[in-house]
């Protein structure tokens, strides 16, 4: 579904290279986890894949279902079925969650020549999705993320994911800031959304999340690259020994 080949990216207009040759392949039905120390480029990778204009791809390619999307605008990528749950969801005062979601849902539907939902139909559809993560419907009529608590913002991202029903989702540290109960609810929700036609990339610092959502692959990102890929046991290894050891191992490998 997603194939990232030797991806290099810099901050637009500046010489700072942040992604230094990322390779990643994600198939339908798979769940991937990306772990890595602060500042290693995890969020940047998710933003570059979703088309953030702040970054410029200087080398490499992003393929989505075989199509090269490297040059597409963020909205066009969203139309193809790409979703990003933000590490820091943005507040947009004056626009309700509901309005955003209806606009977004119908825009995506139009782009895919699917039928749009009228306001009443959409209302029902929204209601049906509230349960996925036990979201209160008062959040629908509040301005996007405005005044939401940290955890509420994260839940709202997953709610939006449930509504827009994307094929591939990047969840950037969705678990950070959630209390234990919320983590359980959100994880259950994510598991409900996952399926053989969908794929997910979870960016996280904690193995805890991976106990709830079992990844098929775990990647370690460092210095703008994925330096190691393994299965769930890699996360456990990391939890036990930290990044230092991996770093050494990588340096050794790199020196060979």
Partner 1 sequence: MSEELSDEVKALESMIGEEYKYGFTTDVEYEEFPKGISEEIVRELSARKNEPEWMTDFRVKAYHAWKEMEEPNWFNATYKSPDFENLLYYSAPKKKPQLDSMDDVDPNIRETYEKLGIPLEEQKMLAGVAVDAVFDSVSIFTSFKEKLAEAGVIFCSMSEAIQEHPELVKKYLASVVPVRDNFYSALNSAVFSDGSFCFIPKGVACPMELSTYFRINNMESGQFERTLIVAEEGASVSYLEGCTAPMYDENQLHAAVVELVALDDADIKYSTIQNWYSGDENGRGGIYNFVTKRGICKGRNSKISWTQLETGSAVTLKYPSVILQGDNSIGEFYSVAVTTKMQQADTGTKMIHLGKNTKSTIISKGISAGKSNNSYRGEVKIGKKAHGSKNYSVCDSMLIGQECGAHTFPYISSENPTSSVEHEATTSRVGEEQIFYLMQRGISEQDAISMIINGFVKDVLKELPLEFAVEANKLLDVKLEGSVG
**Lookup result for tokens 């290099």:** 8
Part in contact with Mg ion (CB under 5 A); list of ranges 87-95, 98-106, 132-140, 243-251: 87-95
* Minimum CB–partner distance for residue 51 and partner 1 (Å): 8
Calpha distance 216→213 (Å, rounded) = 10
Calpha distance 71→194 (Å, rounded) = 28
Structure tokens at 26: 């994600």
Q: Residues 56, 65, 92, 114: which binds partner 1 (CB under 8 A)?
A: 92
What are the respective helix, strand and coil percentages of the chain, to the nearest 5?
45, 25, 30
Least Cα distance to 85 among 167, 169, 1 occurs for 169
Asked if residue 95 binds partner 1 (CB under 8 A), the reply is: yes
Q: How many residues of this chain bind partner 1 (CB under 8 A)?
A: 42
Asked if residue 42 binds ligand ATP (CB under 6 A), the reply is: yes
* Cβ atoms 198, 29 nearer than 8 A: yes
Restricted to residues 45-64, the positions that interact with partner 1 (CB under 8 A) are 47, 50-54
Calpha distance 220→214 (Å, rounded) = 16
Asked if residue 65 binds partner 1 (CB under 8 A), the reply is: no
Restricted to residues 162-201, the positions that interact with partner 1 (CB under 8 A) are 164
- Contacts with Mg ion by CB under 5 A lie at 43, 87
- Contacts with partner 1 by CB under 8 A lie at 12-14, 47, 50-54, 73-75, 78-79, 83-84, 86, 89-96, 98-105, 107-108, 111, 119, 141, 143-144, 160, 164
């Amino acid at each position: 579904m997603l194939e990232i080949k030797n991806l290099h990216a810099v901050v637009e207009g500046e010489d700072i290279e942040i992604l230094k040759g990322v390779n990643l392949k994600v198939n339908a039905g798979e769940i991937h986890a990306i772990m890595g120390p602060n500042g290693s480029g995890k969020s940047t990778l998710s933003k570059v894949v979703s088309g953030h204009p702040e970054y410029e791809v200087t080398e490499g390619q992003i393929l989505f279902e075989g199509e090269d999307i490297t040059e597409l605008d963020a909205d066009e990528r969203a139309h193809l079925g790409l979703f990003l749950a933000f590490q820091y969801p943005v507040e947009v005062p004056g626009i309700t969650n509901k309005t955003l979601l209806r606009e977004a849902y119908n825009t995506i539907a139009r782009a895919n020549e699917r039928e749009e939902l009228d306001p009443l139909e959409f209302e029902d559809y929204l209601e049906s999705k509230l349960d996925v993560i036990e979201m209160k419907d008062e959040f629908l009529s509040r301005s996007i993320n405005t005044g939401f608590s940290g955890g509420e913002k994260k839940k709202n991202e997953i709610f939006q994911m449930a509504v827009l029903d994307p094929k591939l989702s990047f969840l950037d540290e969705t678990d950070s800031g959630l209390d234990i109960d919320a983590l359980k609810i959100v994880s259950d929700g994510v598991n409900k959304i996952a399926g053989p036609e969908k794929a997910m990339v979870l960016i996280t610092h904690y193995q805890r999340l991976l106990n709830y959502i079992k990844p098929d692959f775990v990647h370690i990102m460092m210095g703008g690259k994925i330096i190691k890929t393994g299965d769930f046991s890699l996360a456990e290894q990391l939890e036990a020994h930290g990044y230092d050891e991996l770093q050494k191992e990588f340096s050794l490998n790199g020196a060979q």
